[in-house]
Structure 1
Amino acid sequence: MLPEKEVKQTVPLESSQSKDKGKKPVRMFQPQKKKPKVKSDNQNFTGYMFISPFLIGLFALTLFPILYSLYLSFTDYDLMGTPNWIGMDNYVRMFTNDPTFWTSMKVTFFYAGVAVPFRLVFALLVALALNKIVEMAGLYRTLLYLPSVVGGSIAIAIMWRQLFGNEGAINSILAGLGLPTHPWLGDPDTAIWTLIILYGWQFGSSMLIFLAGLRNIPKTYYEASSVDGASPLRQFFIITLPLLTPVILFNTIMQVIQGFMAFTPSFVVTNGGPVNSTLLYVLYMYERAFEYFDMGYASAMAWVMLIIIAIFTALIFKSSEHWVHYEGDSK
């Protein structure tokens, strides 16, 4: 039982509550809902100012030139006067009345078809070797990546021209060994191969991507297969190659695009010769635009190459459903 004093104290409380019946209870310290802050015009303007360099570059330096080149591909334009609309004449002329176009197409397909697999295979082999190296691995990666940093420059192309010239280092070495020399850049059968070797020599970026993919393969897979008696060659085909297929897909697409867009080696080393045996597509497009001032025709050539690259990229992506294996794939 409660003490008498506490019972007496409860009576006035009950009576006071009964008197206040019908009145709305007053809530003390009622929390107020915060209204969502609306960004002011100044804040929006500041945001647009920060992204304005990207927007200017996107519209002024990317979208507008692309759309304008599409318009020029249907015109006769010599960079001096006003574009003259001629419809599909550039495309008809390209496919029916320009044998040099087909020569450049043939050279480019051969160049990309040989140089791209050569670079990918060589880069993968170097990545496999680097993956086994523990000491000074960073130094080796840097040294092997250097050709890709400087390989696309004019200076390297000039050096390559000197190496394979008639009196260059390659022929000097052959002569010193008592072997017959050869005009590597003057022979139509060997000139294109000098450019292919130069393309394969710039394997650094592909090598680093392959190496990153190899480092992500768990070592437990190799340990388990070794217990089962798998040889290193079998491990490569049943573990390394399947798990590396996403990286192979990425490298293949990037190298195919670069192979079709190659320009500097053909322009500097051989200038398309001899007898157009190294006349790559982009070099011929450059000649039509800036030597013959046939910008409308060159724009049409650019769009044909864009369509070709898009088709090859789509085919590679489509075929990847059958040979690319992703982690967690249920197939």
Structure 2
Amino acid sequence: MHTKGLVVVVTGASSGIGRATALEFARHGAALVLAARGTEALEAVARECRAHRGARAVVQPTDVADEAAVAELARRAVREYGRVDVWVNAAAVAVFGAVEDVPAGEVRRVLDVNVLGCVNAARAVLPVMRRQGTGVLVDVSSVLGLVSSPYNSAYTMSKHALLAFDSSLRQELRLAGERDVRVCTVLPATVDTPFFQHLANRTGRRVRAMPPVYTPRRVARAIVGAVRRPRREVFVGASARSLRLVVAIGPGAWERVLAAKVDRDHFVRGEAAPHHDGTLFAPRPGPGSVGGGWHGTVRTAGRRAGTAAVAAAVAGLARRARR
């Protein structure tokens, strides 16, 4: 599927992966409908998108947990552009804390946004795509859709649920003969976004992005690639791809390793943090941003430089061996 001229709806478009995805589609000349809760940030993204190749962009403030609001988002896209070619679900929230320390209402809110938000989107847009005979629905899950993490059980549950939900959707579409309506699940590793500043925190410790950290644009490019060539699942980052094999070989051992790594690397050592709701129930004011200041670009460049150095060394050894 060519990306130029596509009508693309992006939820969670005000920051992070959603914002990077909107900008990436704008660079390819797509027509965009941008959704999130924060109007100021949405308007800022729309202006950035319109600066790329004259891309069109409209905003629709939306809480994806609200089924009626998501239905209106789909109707707005059809009113503006006459169709919906791509729908990207990137809206997500999280709360960090031990299971017994996180209030049930906060767990419910995470599941309402991260899971029911995607259910609401599918129910709203799949009838449109069925009538068109084509379309791609992209759900942004996480490597935590494959494994579990301490202090992050609600988010982990939600990302596991997305894999199951998308699998069910694909089966239903196949049985209905809708071969050109595709559902893709994207599973990134840790990404350099404001997500970790926005999450609710019940741990009493300051949370940080756990390395390795990848850039939001890398995820956005993977999403655009999945639209061009739809497939079931797309893993973003070498750590995400290798994790599949590790989990399959030794799930019990991996649980022990991950628990220790999260406890050691997911918090700023020695820094306390007050309990707060983050953006669970209300967006953060301001224009928003793509990056979170976790140095994903620098770390990605470092990994690439290291890989290139290893490849050059191996090539040098091979040349000497041939001589």
TM-score scaled to structure 2, two decimals?
0.22
Q: Which has the higher strand share?
A: 2
Q: Which has the higher helix share?
A: 1
- Higher CA-based Rg: 1
Q: Of the two structures, which has the highest relative contact order with CA contacts closer than 8 Å and spacing of 6 or more?
A: 1
TM-score scaled to structure 1, two decimals?
0.22
